[in-house]
């Protein structure tokens, strides 16, 4: 019953936000961001802790300012998410700028396929919608949300933008391998995996855990692995692409570990440059009271 009420409230809010004028909608979410910072719940506390790891030298006032900016960016993501399905193709395309976009576009034009790895930064759905608008088939995976009705709504929302969305389960990697062989664009948000299958990496000087999937796909199929960092601009998003050097020496597990570390190091650079757009409100480092997810 609680799940049903939660889902209905969420869907009602989604409908309302879609109908509001632009300035009103984003102003409302900005106020909500300010409220959440003042309330200082567990997610906000975690975000502050994560930001302090990537910007350890900030004074308390500067950290407070960065936290407010980060929550504003996070709520902008949600407002975008509620409204993007009503944007025209021209609105989507005109609101995106690229650096080294050829790292994605050239392999797709050449029929090679590519694996794109992203951190939880900016609006990755907006980036995906942009490439789908260019006629590029995109495959991704999504963690199941609760309630189930909410997960299904997000599934339909992303499918409507042109995504093929796989739920994370024991069969998803096999499907991704097949899509890689079909030369598709595979886009994976890949800066957090606290399960036993995650790969330990050094991230901002401490041990974090990230998924093996992007590196393993590239190693097994030979298609390029590219990091995409998405940051917000005044009128949309900017995507910067950087190629990941695939490790060639050692066993497959050693190659995966080294390649994942290289991916994590590129995530560091993008996040350090745009810390306010990193939407990591969950644990990512494996020290302290860390408990492995199952």
In a domain, 6, yes or no: no
> Alpha-carbon distance 145 to 152, whole Å?
9
In a domain, 132, yes or no: yes
Joined tokens for residue 287: 């020290």
pLDDT of residue 258: 98
In a domain, 171, yes or no: yes
In a domain, 47, yes or no: no
Structurally, the chain folds into a number of domains equal to 1
In a domain, 264, yes or no: yes
Burial track 257-276 (b if 16+ CB lie within 10 A, e otherwise): bbbbbbbbebbbebbeebbb
In a domain, 41, yes or no: no
**Pairing mode, strands 163-167 and 138-142:** parallel
Structural domain containing residue 263: 87-277
In a domain, 55, yes or no: no
pTM attached to this predicted model: 0.92
pLDDT of residue 118: 97
In a domain, 137, yes or no: yes
pLDDT of residue 172: 86
> Alpha-carbon distance 291 to 154, whole Å?
28
Taking the chain (294 residues) in consecutive chunks of 10 residues, what is each chunk's mean pLDDT?
62 83 95 97 96 95 98 96 92 97 95 95 95 92 75 81 82 90 93 90 96 95 96 97 97 97 98 97 86 64
Quote the distance between the C-alpha of residue 289 and its chain's center: 25
CB 266 within 8 A of CB 242: yes
């Amino acid at each position: 019953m609680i799940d049903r009420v939660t889902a209905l409230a969420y869907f009602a809010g989604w409908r309302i936000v879609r109908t509001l004028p632009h300035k009103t909608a984003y102003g409302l979410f900005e106020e909500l961001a300010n409220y959440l910072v003042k309330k200082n719940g567990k997610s906000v506390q975690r975000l502050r802790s994560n930001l302090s790891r990537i910007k350890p030298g900030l004074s308390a006032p500067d950290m407070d300012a960065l936290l407010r900016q980060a929550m504003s960016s996070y709520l902008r993501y949600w407002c975008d998410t509620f409204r993007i399905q009503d944007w025209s193709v021209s609105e989507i395309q005109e609101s995106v700028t690229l650096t080294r976009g050829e790292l994605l576009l050239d392999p797709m034009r050449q029929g090679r396929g590519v694996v794109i790895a992203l951190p939880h930064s900016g609006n990755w759905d907006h980036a995906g919608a942009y490439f789908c608008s260019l006629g590029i088939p995109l495959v991704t995976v999504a963690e199941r949300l609760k309630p189930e009705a909410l997960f299904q709504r997000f599934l339909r929302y992303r499918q409507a933008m042109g995504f093929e969305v796989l739920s994370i389960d024991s069969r998803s990697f096999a499907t991704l391998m097949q899509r890689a062989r079909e030369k598709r664009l595979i886009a994976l948000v890949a800066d957090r995996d606290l399960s036993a299958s995650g790969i330990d990496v050094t991230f901002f000087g401490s041990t974090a855990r990230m998924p093996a999937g992007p590196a393993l796909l590239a190693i097994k199929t030979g298609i390029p692995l590219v990091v995409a960092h998405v940051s917000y601009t005044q009128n949309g998003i900017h995507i910067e692409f950087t190629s990941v050097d695939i490790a060639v020496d050692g066993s497959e597990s050693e190659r995966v570990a080294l390649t994942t570390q290289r991916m994590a190091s590129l995530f560091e650079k993008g996040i350090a440059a745009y810390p306010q757009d990193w939407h990591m409100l969950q644990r990512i480092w494996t020290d302290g009271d860390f408990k492995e997810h199952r």
